[in-house]
Every structure is written in C-alpha cells, then in structure tokens.
Structure 1
Amino acid sequence: MLISVDADLMKVLADPLRMRIVTLLADETLCTTHLMEETGAKQTNLSNHLRVLREAGVVETEPCGRFTYYRLRPESLEDLAGALGDLAATARAAGTVNRRAC
C-alpha cells in the first residue's frame, strides 16, 4: 500500500516563520500589519512567506478596504495530518513482521 504524503506542503510548513504565521492564523484572522507586529518580520519578507502559504493552499485572503486579511485553511492541514496518520498506522501494523530478506 502506497501512502502519499505531500512533501511540498511539508517543505512549506518547515520554515519557522511560515509555521509561526500558521500558528497565529489558527487563532484568528489577521492582516499583514498584525502579522508584522506578532512576528517582527519585515513587510516584504512577510509578504513573500504569505505568498508561498497562499500558493500552497494553506491560507486564503480576504480584502478589506486597503488591507488584506489572512485566514488559515484548516482542511489543508487536516489532509496532511491524515496522510501522516495513515503512514504511522501502516508502520505500526507492519511492526517487525514485514522484513525484506537481503
């Protein structure tokens, strides 16, 4: 049984600043100004990370006047968590029973 884990999404979430952004957005929808205050990141750096998260489908935007608010898309994390859970379950079930001969 082949279980597919989204390695690209894992790579996106592996960055400490992006993971901090995701953690903050899990609690509330925030604009770039709020995220700058919370993370201490510069606006251009933050915008680049938000673009990566948006392109990966982790966050979505909501325009509000001259501001853009970001919110977490929990289903993107649930899909990854499910795939990792399936992988762990497969390993647990296999235990030491499945050993390929050399």
Structure 2
Amino acid sequence: MSKPGLPLTDVSACAYAPLVREPLSSAAAADIAAKLKALSDPVRLRLFSLVASHANREACVCDISGDFDVSQPTISHHLRVLKEAGLLASERRASWVYYSVVPEALNLISSVLSTAADDMALGAPA
C-alpha cells in the first residue's frame, strides 16, 4: 500500500549517483564530462548562470548579451556550445532567440556534485 505524499525519486540520474562509490560507466562519464567542459569557460558559465537566474529559467539573447565585453557572434558561439552540451534549449520567437535551462541537465550536474560532496563529507573511501 502506497503512502500519499511521499516524494518520488527521479531515477534518470541514478546511473550517476555512485560517483565516489563506484566507477562511472563510459557513457555516463562522457555525458558528464561534455557538460562540465561546456561550463568550464568563464563566459559560458556566466551565460548559463544568467539564463538560469532569469524568471522561468529562460532569457532572450537580447537580455543577456549586453553584460559581456565580447561580440554578439562570440556570445552566439558560447550559447551554441551550451546548447550542444544539452545544458540549454532554444526557441525562436519573431526575431529573437530565447534560451532556457534544460532542467534534467541542471539536476544531473547538481546530483553528481552533491553526491560526491555528500559522500566525501561522510568519509566514503576515495
């Protein structure tokens, strides 16, 4: 008999949860590495943060491109890298492109890093 109100666990990230308890699969490691590599550039990390901190985790490129000392084509390049890594999605509305955070990607990165930190704090063997 199920109990009402119990939280459901998102099993989509379970393959990544044992980061410090057992080795990642090749596919999981490649997926996580691609996302972290995309975020390793300071401009991309800041762009991702700007989109993530906007209402509904969505922002028009016109709202975020003015905060940088790089050209619009460079901003577009960085946004494309984030999109190709699966961190952002985009939608054209009239003449503007709106970018939004892919919730599953944000949850994945968060769960991998928090699991590692939690296990390290608990003294899990390295």
Q: Same fold (TM over 0.5)?
A: yes
Matches within 5 A, 1:8-47: 8-28=34-54, 29-47=58-76
Does 2:103 correspond to 1:74?
A: yes
Distance 1:3 1:89, change over 3 A: farther
Does 2:106 correspond to 1:64?
A: no
Q: 2: CA distance between counterparts of 1:30 and 1:38?
A: 13
Q: 2: CA distance between counterparts of 1:92 and 1:67?
A: 45
Check whether the contact 1:25–1:70 (CA below 8 A) recurs between aligned residues.
yes
Q: Letter of the aligned partner of 2:53 in structure 1?
A: D
Matches within 5 A, 1:75-90: 75-90=104-119
Q: CA deviation at 1:18?
A: 0.5
Q: TM-score, normalised by structure 2?
A: 0.65
Percent identity of paired positions between Structure 1 and Structure 2: 29
Check whether the contact 1:3–1:83 (CA below 8 A) recurs between aligned residues.
no
Q: Letter of the aligned partner of 1:75 in structure 2?
A: E
Name the structure, 1 or 2, with higher relative contact order (CA <8 Å, separation 6+).
2
Structure 2: tracts of 5 or more residues without a match: 1-20
Q: Letter of the aligned partner of 2:101 in structure 1?
A: L
Q: 1: CA distance between counterparts of 2:53 and 2:123?
A: 37
Pairs aligned (count): 97
Check whether the contact 1:3–1:86 (CA below 8 A) recurs between aligned residues.
no
Check whether the contact 1:36–1:46 (CA below 8 A) recurs between aligned residues.
yes
